[in-house]
Structure 1
Amino acid sequence: MPLSPPAPRTARHVRRVTYQGYEREDGLWDIEGELHDSKAEDTPFIRDPSIIRRAGQPIHHMWLRVTVNRQLVVQAIEATMDAHPLGGCPEALASLQSMVGCSMSRGWRKAIQTNLGGIAGCTHIRELLFNLATAAFQTMPAVFSSVGDEPPRHLNQCTGWSFNGDGVKEYFPQFYGRNSSAAVE
């Protein structure tokens, strides 16, 4: 269902973000993200208004690949910047290696902020990483299974998967009504 009709407006900025997940032959998983920012109309450069950036020409165009194991622990990470607004932007890529060994299942956002926050990293790469975990969860079927008395990682992380909700009652009745008021990162 589409949104309601908007008020009269003019497009100014376009951001495209995509994620893809892959199962590798070696038992690991690659989750890739791409971010592409552009303006919807020709725009002068801030530093030199005589230079015009054409509509659709990327301001940011970044790629990210994170390799994880079945436990969602980062085994390798790689990124590249095809387009970036400042000469020093690619220097932020070196700090990505500090994410190797971090877990996407618990404390992911905190690990990103600790390792790549502020001037240690790149705002746009951090944004890609924040949501990469969701793509990993959607890619890996084992994430949705329970182990013993441990519920699947996605339970109690949103309204639809509340321990007191109909989704858990129907698909994971053994965890229905479990008392857990704190959502996990």
Structure 2
Amino acid sequence: MPLPPSTVSRSLLHTRTYRAQAFEREDGLLDIEAEIMDVKDYDFPSQMSESGVHNAGDPVHHMLMRVTIDKHYVIQDVVATYGAAPYRQHCTGIADAYRQLIGLSLVKGFKRAVREIMSRTAGCTHMTELTDILPTVAIQSMVKEARSAKQVAEESNASQQRPFQIDGCHALRSSGEVVRMFYPKWYEAAEHTEVVPE
């Protein structure tokens, strides 16, 4: 369902776009390709532009990253590149530094580790921000395999571990209808306290 239209006249200033895709590789690894793009809807002065003007619609930021992960969500390779950067080579020169993320797990303290390794002048603000979407994209990409593994585990009665997504969001709260329907073993009825009028 889209947002309702604005009740006040307005003009577009800025658009930020994220895009991520996951690819299953024939060697058993997974590639996640992600990009972030910022576009202004107005011209503005730029000393980095040959014309002295950054034109409306041309990307101000366009950062791209590919991480290759194994089935345990551990990063095996990283490629970072730039389609556009406000300070050109002064920004793009940091791309290879993102190879320091190799060996990190996307599901165990990843965001904190990235901030420690690539903080402040050690990294690019926008490239680092792009890494924030990688863990959830990786998890979503492994759903097919996870479901197959879950079916095998359930058939062998080996599944005794509480699914990690329970209590991770409102819809999947342990006392909610979704958990009651899909994860009945882990459903916990909400405690209702009786309100006694004074």
Task: Provide TM-score, normalisation by structure 2.
Answer: 0.80
Structure-to-structure mapping, 1:1-185, within 5 angstroms: 1-6=1-6, 7-45=8-46, 51-86=52-87, 87-141=89-143, 142-143=145-146, 148-177=159-188
Aligned to 1:36, what secondary structure does the other structure show? strand
Partners of 2:165 and 2:41 in 1: CA distance: 37
Partners of 1:113 and 1:99 in 2: CA distance: 11
Aligned to 2:4, what secondary structure does the other structure show? coil
Q: 1:70-116 CA distances to partner (integer Å, 9 max, x unpaired)?
A: 11111111110121011321232232122111111121211111111
Aligned pair count reads 178
Partners of 2:117 and 2:43 in 1: CA distance: 36
RMSD of aligned residue pairs (Cα, Å): 2.3
Aligned to 1:64, what secondary structure does the other structure show? strand
Partners of 1:30 and 1:47 in 2: CA distance: 33
Q: 1:24-62 CA distances to partner (integer Å, 9 max, x unpaired)?
A: 1111111110111111122222678x7121111111111
Residue 42 of structure 1 contacts residue 52 of structure 1 at CA under 8 Å; is this kept in 2?
yes
- Counterpart code for 2:166: L
Task: Provide TM-score, normalisation by structure 1.
Answer: 0.85
Q: Could you say which structure has the greater relative contact order, defined with CA pairs below 8 angstroms and 6 or more residues apart?
A: 1
Unaligned runs of 5+ in 1: 179-185
- Counterpart code for 2:173: S
Structure number with greater Rg is 2
**Higher deviation after alignment, 162-171 or 116-125:** 162-171
Residue 72 of structure 1 contacts residue 105 of structure 1 at CA under 8 Å; is this kept in 2?
yes
Shift of 1:4: 2.2
**Higher deviation after alignment, 11-20 or 145-154:** 145-154
Partners of 1:115 and 1:150 in 2: CA distance: 32
Residue 143 of structure 1 contacts residue 153 of structure 1 at CA under 8 Å; is this kept in 2?
no
Alignment identity in percent? Answer: 34
Unaligned runs of 5+ in 2: 154-158, 190-198
Residue 48 of structure 2 contacts residue 86 of structure 2 at CA under 8 Å; is this kept in 1?
no
